Chain A
Amino acid sequence: MDVEKIIEKAIKLGASEAEVYLSRVSETSLTLSDVIEASKFTKLSSLGVRVAVNKSVAIVGTQDLSSEGIEKTLNSAISLARVSSPDPNWVSMNKKISQTHVGNLFDEDTANATPEDLKQVAMDLLNSVIDGYRNARPVRGAVSARSTEITYMSCYGGPLTRSETLSGLYIYARVDEGGKTGTYREHDIQRSLKKLRAREVGFEAGSRAREFLDAGGLPSGTYELVLLNRVVSSILSVMIAPAVSALNVQQGRSPLSGRLGEEIASEYVSLVDLGTLPEALGSKPFDDEGYPTRDTPVLEKGVLKTYLYDTYTALKEGRESTGNASRTFSTAPAPQPHHLRLVPGKAQLDELISETREGVLVLGTIGEWLSNPVSGHLNATITHAYLIRKGELIKPVKGAVLTSNIYELLKHSVEAIGRDLRIEYGVSAPSLKIRETKIAGI
């Protein structure tokens, strides 16, 4: 497809500025129960056109990439922009179109993976559940390999193209014994299919499911908490990512508004947004409006250093973007972290546990995304945890509600930060030791 022609045409039709965002995704995946249930291949091309007519902006996305489809998209975008009321804060689209050198984000074998290639990984995953425990069985899971290519061009430059691959798997294991049930879910995500740790994940799910056969309730009370790295990652994406978005800050929806330079967390807490480190999943050479990416320290030893900007929010303050524009083919860009990392500390997970007198090691939660990033009010329902007494894991427990204010927690309750970094897509974090916190048992 000739993206240059689309830009030219938009300008000819009366746009003062125009940009094109083209994504091509192909994905092969297997869905699993205790066997391979089904296999799927999808290929999808999507085109987004954003135009400005003076200060009025409109976006039209289409998956009809025939010449009539593109024609309709362009006309529709121009006519929407003509009726849209002008945005007084609009300055211009990004004019600094270039890319940062980021190492390899693309693996050829993953991009070309066939269902047969995935099958090997799936069999390893399924078979290792029983290695974790003889009565454990896999009940639900998936293996996938995906490649994404993004092309960006605007009236100010380009085209730029970036490609990345991602491969992921998950397994949900279950053990039924003596009228009791234990379950556990584990997953992995990597740049390439061959790096997936299928055997470790299967083994972990199977053996944990066995341990949670005997999980009892957790009595309401006040406990020290050790939050496992994967729980910390999840909380950070829900609570911190929206709060450091310059858009939310400017529009009065972030509790961090007006607090630059303030110590909002304890000195143990440093957060950085990684845009250029290949191993940090989410890194990329340019953002979704063609701006070069960078690594941005957000919190340094507890002090808030910056918010994350795209072009619109940056120009509104007369400053430079941090290269954090994120969009889909049919939505407006908005600032979002590439990969938010809680910088690891020195403690081993074992040490965090052994330093706990009366506490809970939290392995799994649901509903943390129901927390409120505007008020800072954090909620999570604990589904998998261990009771800790005098530094020892005593027994598995489940069913309790953790409630706190994330900022009070980060500022006054963080005791230690682990070194066990876990990398997810868009976020990574180590485990975290938290001082006494109230928990309501179910």
Chain B
Amino acid sequence: MLKDLAQNALKIAEVLGASYAEVRTQLISYELITVDNSVLREFSRTYRAGLGIRVLYNGSFGFSSTNELDKDSIRETVSRAITAARVSKTTRTLGEREPSRGRYVAQWKIRSEDVSDDVKAELIIRANKAGLGIDGIKSSVSRLGIQHDWRYVVSSDGAELEYESYLTGVAHLSVAVESGSMERVSNQESSVSGWEFIEKKDWEEFARNVSELAREAVKAPLPPAGRTRVIADPEMVGLILHEAFGHATEGDLVASGTSILKNRLGEEVASPLVTIVDDGLIEGGYYVPFDDEGSLKKRTVVVEEGLLRSFLTNRESAARLELPVSGNGRAQDFTHIPIVRQTNFFMLPGDWGLEEMVKEVKEGLYLVGKGSSGGQVDTGAGTFTFSAGPSRLIRNGELGGLVRGVVVSGSILETLKGVEAVGKDLRITTSVFGGCGKDSQIVRVGDGGPHILVRELIVGGE
């Protein structure tokens, strides 16, 4: 039914004189159970369905979307997209791509619809109680999230792609109180899979671990402020790359001049140990077989042995930058225009062991991602910042005491040049509870890498 509506919208756009059109229809469902201090506070389900159309008319883009899925409303939506396109006088060209057709399905064993609601509720209540059961924990919130996403993209140049996936995860937050001081620690694990992901892990243990960490962290001091040598764990590396570098490689920001990496292709932007890729199909990450413009997402090598090799592009920025279309035109949902976004952005492993790295450091900090609340970047000014979870001091080649409230900042052009060692491990993660925000759109992403040793970052503390 939705496919027919999309095909129909495409025909109307052609009849109305659009030189190019792409239509996306989408069905999304989201299930969320929230347990707050052992009481089931929210059991909610969201169903979304709609259609978005983007047209190129007299060389300009117009977009319109609706969730009223009848023929009259679709016709009105298409004509609104054409009206919208008349406003701009700028002529746009689209980068060439091979139009693909096909159906992509992420693997799952057990559909969440086949699991009874009381089993789901029971599981998350038990995890919450386990987290709350640790001494010193005064508050605990646990969440179970399940997303089901079906997308269908069809374009006037012959692309026709369909996709379906489940994203499932559990999150837990614990607040510890100790002699008037409070601290929160949160963690989440998500996977592109069905209910089997939930079944194979002990979530009570997971919640207890978060609580133990909160109880330790509430007693911990802030780190000393200033410049310091750091080892970052894979989750932290993911955040650093995503904020400190990933955004600045987004082709729309590069083309418009909002990125400090503009005109730097071929230049040395990182240490020779560093190779960074964006890959829509990596194990552990989010599942992005193709983008919302209907271009296949293949692995893009962004940095190769320290040299800036490419930017991430959608069709429009590819044309403007004279680069290949990399399949990174992503939209939050059918109500948004695709813009250039990362998919799974990560560093390839090297040959160092973590212990070897720690031995190298006389005085520094081991940054841990668990408990981080994210990061932000000003791609134009070249400054980024992100928070770490409870982390450890490093003194004379050994891991030392825990520190909390760690927030790190740095400069895009300097940080990755200071990478002194790259670990042989690799871990990529994604989340069903969050995503990355840009231009008021949030999309799911994955990131990660191996452990790395960085010469210098700025730590805010005491």
Q: Which residues of A come within 8 Å of B, CB atoms?
A: 28, 30-31, 33-45, 56-66, 69, 72-73, 76, 79-81, 83-85, 87-89, 114-116, 118-119, 137, 139-140, 142, 172, 174, 176, 181, 183, 212, 220, 251-253, 255, 329-332, 366-367, 369-370, 372, 374-377, 379, 381, 383-384, 398-399, 401-403, 438, 440-442
Contact = CB atoms under 8 A, between A and B. Distances in A.
Interface in B85-112: 85-90
A354 B91 CA distance: 50
Given A38-B62, A366-B378, A375-B182, A331 B42 contact: yes
Nearest to A34: B256
A205 to B, nearest CB: 12
A224 B183 CA distance: 28
A172 B258 CA distance: 8
Contacts of B65: 40-44
B285 interface: no
Given A58-B44, A252-B138, A374 B50 contact: no
B122 to A, nearest CB: 8
Contacts of A56: 40
Nearest to B63: A40
Contact of B260 (A69, A114, A181, A442): A181
Interface size class on chain B is 35 or more
B38 to A, nearest CB: 10
A369 B407 contact: no
24 contacts: A28-B84, A39-B62, A40-B64, A42-B66, A43-B67, A61-B44, A62-B46, A80-B117, A83-B121, A84-B43, A87-B40, A118-B87, A366-B377, A366-B383, A367-B385, A367-B386, A372-B405, A374-B184, A375-B182, A375-B404, A379-B407, A381-B383, A438-B462, A442-B458
A72 B335 contact: no
A253 to B, nearest CB: 5
Contact of B460 (A45, A399, A401): A401
Contacts of B36: 251
Contact of B68 (A43, A57, A329, A402): A43
A38 B225 CA distance: 44
Given A39-B88, A140-B256, A80 B45 contact: yes
Contact of A60 (B45, B255, B376, B405): B45
Nearest to A69: B47
A438 B458 CA distance: 14
Nearest to A81: B43
Contacts of B337: 31, 38, 40
Nearest to B42: A332
Given A81-B43, A174-B258, 9 more contacts: A31-B337, A36-B90, A69-B47, A181-B380, A252-B138, A367-B409, A370-B407, A381-B376, A401-B460
A140 B258 contact: yes
Interface in B376-426: 376-378, 380-381, 383-387, 404-405, 407, 409-411
B256 to A, nearest CB: 4
B369 interface: no
B87 A39 contact: yes
B373 interface: yes
B49 to A, nearest CB: 5
Contact of B183 (A40, A115, A375): A375
B4 interface: no
Contacts of A59: 42-45
Contact of B226 (A376, A383, A440): A440
Contact of A63 (B43, B49, B181, B404): B49
Contacts of B81: 41
A33 B377 CA distance: 19
Q: Which 7 A-B pairs have the closest CB atoms?
A: A252-B139, A401-B460, A39-B84, A367-B385, A183-B380, A381-B385, A330-B46
A204 B77 CA distance: 37
A137 B42 CA distance: 48
A442 B253 CA distance: 24
B39 A403 contact: no
Given A43-B66, A181-B380, A367-B386, A36 B87 contact: yes
B375 interface: yes
B50 A44 contact: yes
A34, A372, A381 pick with most chain B CB within 10 angstroms: A381
A114 to B, nearest CB: 7
B461 interface: yes
A217 B411 CA distance: 11
B114 interface: no
B439 A31 contact: yes
B403 to A, nearest CB: 12
Contact of B461 (A374, A383, A403): A403
Contacts of A89: 39
A403 B460 contact: yes
Nearest to B414: A442
A58 B407 contact: no
Contacts of B179: none
Interface of B: 30, 32, 34, 36-37, 39-50, 52, 54, 60-69, 77, 80-81, 83-90, 116-118, 121, 125, 138-139, 141, 175, 177, 181-184, 222, 225-226, 253, 255-258, 260, 335, 337, 373-378, 380-381, 383-387, 404-405, 407, 409-411, 439, 458-462
A115 B87 contact: yes
A259 to B, nearest CB: 11
A72 B47 contact: yes
B69 to A, nearest CB: 8
A250 to B, nearest CB: 9
B67 A41 contact: no
Nearest to A43: B66
A45 B182 contact: no
B32, B67, B77, B141 pick with most chain A CB within 10 angstroms: B67
B384 to A, nearest CB: 8
Given A40-B64, A375-B181, A442 B411 contact: yes
Contacts of A142: 439
B375 A440 contact: no
Contacts of B183: 372, 374-375
B365 to A, nearest CB: 13
B37 A251 contact: yes
A114 B83 CA distance: 9
B67 A76 contact: no
A139 B254 CA distance: 10
A379 to B, nearest CB: 4
A133 to B, nearest CB: 15
Contacts of B253: 140
B37 to A, nearest CB: 6
Contacts of A35: 88-90
B30 to A, nearest CB: 7
A165 to B, nearest CB: 17
Contacts of A172: 258, 380
Given A115-B87, A253-B175, A367 B376 contact: yes
A41 B80 contact: yes
A80 B139 contact: no
B46 A39 contact: no
Contact of A174 (B45, B62, B177, B380): B380
Nearest to B65: A42
A140 B85 CA distance: 18
A63, A220, A253, A370 pick with most chain B CB within 10 angstroms: A63
A381 B256 contact: no
Contacts of B411: 399, 442
Given A115-B83, A330-B30, A58 B43 contact: yes
Contacts of B80: 41
A44 B460 contact: no
Given A39-B85, A64-B67, A83 B458 contact: no
A208 to B, nearest CB: 12
